[in-house]
Amino acid sequence: NVPLFKNTIFLVSVMILVLIGLLYWFFGTELGCSIRATGGNDRMARAQGINTDFNRVLGLMVSNGLVALSGALLSQYQGFADINMGRGAIVIGLAAVIIGEAIFGKVFHNFGFRLLGVALGSIVYYLVLQVVIWLGVDTDLLKLLSAAVVAVFLAIPTWKGRYFKSAPKGGKS
């Protein structure tokens, strides 16, 4: 019987929650808010007196630091590092953001919960891939399949807006 503190899923969940907490705290500071403003609307942030060039570089530093942390944790968990370990990581990251926004975007309005939605989006992405593999789809087509999954989740907000419109408010009775 494995103790709880050695359970991989428990440790990763705790680390993700701690990381979300740290990011939520950082992006709530003045510097973090200026990074978010730069990402949201570069021209408006510059008009407000924010140094957008510095914020772009700082945003890249934070994101690359997170990538380095995840790569180090993966290497530590597996016990080795390989040049091909990060292949496809950008697709997985984009899929996590897109799926998290498509599924949890209307539910989570708080920035911290949106970060949690991205983490849950990555879990949904891997669950969809595992179900497809379990159904017997050829694993050589996995890259095509992952691109199709991302495309479907990109289209969900459009489909919601087009096919599931609610009745107009204040209309004729």
Domain boundaries, the chain: 1-82, 88-165
Q: How far, CA to CA in Å, does 88 sit from each of 84, 92, 93, 102, 144?
A: 9, 6, 9, 21, 12
Q: What is the pLDDT of residues 123-139, one digit of tens each?
A: 888 888 888 888 888 87
| pTM for the predicted model, two decimal places | 0.76
**Residues 31-41: what's their mean pLDDT?**
95
Q: Over 60: is that where the pLDDT of 173 sits?
A: no
Token pair 């497809």 is found at 132
Q: By C-alpha distance, which of 158, 86, 89 is closest to 126?
A: 89
Q: By C-alpha distance, which of 48, 47, 85, 92 is closest to 68?
A: 85
Which amino acid appears at position 112 of this protein?
Answer: G
CA 103 to chain centre: 12
Q: Over 60: is that where the pLDDT of 110 sits?
A: yes
